[in-house]
A and B are shown apart, each in its own frame.
Chain A
Amino acid sequence: MSNAPTREVARRVFADEFNDAEFTFKESDDERAPLYALLPTGERANRVFVVGTLTETEDIGEDSEYWRGRVVDPTDTFFVYAGQYQPEAASALRDAETPTYVAVVGKPRTFETDDGSVNVSLRPESITTVDEATRDRWVVETAERTLERLDAFDDEGNEYAERAKAEYGEDVSAYRRAVLDALEDFDTESDEVPPADA
């Protein structure tokens, strides 16, 4: 309908898979082309939406403020970094009282550490506090989206699954395990709630 660039979908991915997404790429040579992280279950992610528990925040900047937040989901921890170019996210981290549930919209970023390993982190566009219901909904939704990717992993012509196999290998059982753990965790939580008519 219009030629306006379409906005990138925010992928749903658990922390254990996100932290494995060390391979990034662009689809064109254009300097402003979006950067994608390749998810091991076979999808490209330019943006993700994450909900979890913000457990710690720390200003690790030297000359200027540079905030790091740890956001924990049922599988692992997302590392969120916000500095002067993300003033709203930085002030959200500065002002946050931990622990609290937060929603983070952000872009995957990678950096190489001194020992040569690659760390995956999240550069936030926004960080907001949310309630438990939102966190629960995210866990179920993220399980669902991850299963959809696993389901399509061996489909013929699944470009990003092919690339993921080449970069990370074909064994994705750990991500399926993580989905199960996240949901089962959840299941026991909700079993503790008495039925409404009790």
Chain B
Amino acid sequence: MSDLSDTAAEIHDEFSEHVDATVDDVEARLEKLVTEYKVPLAEARRSVENHYLDEAGLDRDELGGRGNDTVQVEDVDEPEQWVDLTAKVVELWEPRSDSVGQVGLLGDPTGTIKFTKWAKSDLANLEEGKTYRLGNVVTDEYQGRYSVKLNKTTSIEEVDEEFDVGDNEDEVEGALVDIQSGSGLIKRCPEEDCTRVLQNGRCSEHGEVEGEFDLRIKGVLDDGRDVHEVIFDEDATEALTGIGLEEAKQMAKDALDTTVVADEMRETVLGSYYRVTGPTFGRYVLANDTEKLDDAPDPEAVLIKARSI
């Protein structure tokens, strides 16, 4: 079969419950667009689907899961995509809102991702430790972190697949060439579920609040080819710099200035080489493990190459 008739068959399957059209009808519409009007196949497909959606009076959301891309967790890198996913329920969390039926963490061999199931979606409950094939879930993004949402069109099918859930960890290394503003001793908004970093004592959401101290470094690792932005949380910052939260508070108190903490950290760590492992969220690697690279490098391999040029 050609791509055209494959696509026609897929579209026909999507609409078989809603529209009275044969595969040939669908293919004729596609062919007209592709052959006569030189529309790329993907765009032609969209257009033909929209035609049948109109005809059936449906929203795109109401179509079945067929025709979605089947993805793995690590492939989710764009919001508002309709995808199918086979994943294990790693953890269930306590929903913080009545509109949420279930919330937790899904995982497959490539990593983990948060999921939300709306209360009004009327779907069966997922159980921790079980693996499901989820059809027609929507991806979402918040501050560089992706999640999937289960909705009323989502299909849930328990499957008997065993795998180890991946940890999404990346490894980056290079010289620490910058510690960006917003690093060191910072204050966060104390409102529930809000952890925004305060600017001059103000939260962008909640206004003037009594902040809570925290330690953080936003750093840049650079290996001369690429740059990697890395976030060190309180523990990782202490591991990197040797300065803990209590000590940092004392330093700021003595100096009547919180910026001395970041200055001191810069002096300690800028310009040295590190290897950082951790998950990637958007443009940042979150440092779970940091290692200073201070073993003697081996010039031999480079020397051989230099002599061979």
Contact = CB atoms under 8 A, between A and B. Distances in A.
Interface of A: 1-2, 4, 6-12, 47, 49, 51, 88, 102-105, 125-126, 128-131, 133-134, 136-145, 147, 150-151, 176, 179-180, 183-184, 186-187, 190, 193
A128 B307 contact: no
Contacts of A193: 296
Nearest to A4: B283
Interface string B265-309: 011001111000000001100000000011111111011011101
Contacts of B306: 143, 147, 176, 179-180, 183
Contacts of B266: 88, 126, 128
Nearest to B180: A7
Interface residues of B, number: 35
A134 B297 contact: no
B172 interface: no
A183 B271 contact: no
Interface of B: 77, 175, 177-178, 220, 222-227, 229, 263, 266-267, 270-273, 282-283, 293-300, 302-303, 305-307, 309
11 contacts: A7-B227, A11-B224, A47-B177, A49-B271, A126-B177, A126-B178, A130-B271, A133-B295, A137-B273, A183-B303, A187-B303
Contacts, number: 113
A131 B273 CA distance: 11
Contact of B272 (A103, A140, A147, A176): A103
A51 B271 contact: yes
The 4 residue pairs across chains A and B that have the minimum distance between CB atoms = A103-B271, A133-B294, A12-B224, A140-B297
B293 A137 contact: yes
B271 A134 contact: yes
A176 B293 CA distance: 27
Given A137-B273, A147-B306, 15 more contacts: A1-B282, A4-B283, A6-B227, A7-B220, A8-B227, A10-B222, A10-B227, A49-B222, A49-B271, A133-B296, A134-B272, A139-B299, A144-B305, A180-B303, A180-B306
A166 to B, nearest CB: 22
B273 A134 contact: yes
A12 B226 CA distance: 12
Nearest to A146: B306
B177, B226, B305 pick with most chain A CB within 10 angstroms? B177
A6 B309 CA distance: 33
A62 to B, nearest CB: 28
Nearest to B271: A103
A7 B296 CA distance: 29
Nearest to B177: A105
Nearest to B294: A133
A190 B77 CA distance: 46
A134 B222 contact: no
B210 to A, nearest CB: 31
Nearest to B298: A140
Given A9-B227, A130-B272, A134-B271, A125 B305 contact: no
A105 B270 contact: yes
A125 B227 contact: no
Contacts of B271: 49, 51, 102-105, 126, 128, 130, 134
Given A150-B309, A179-B306, A49 B296 contact: no
A150 B77 CA distance: 36
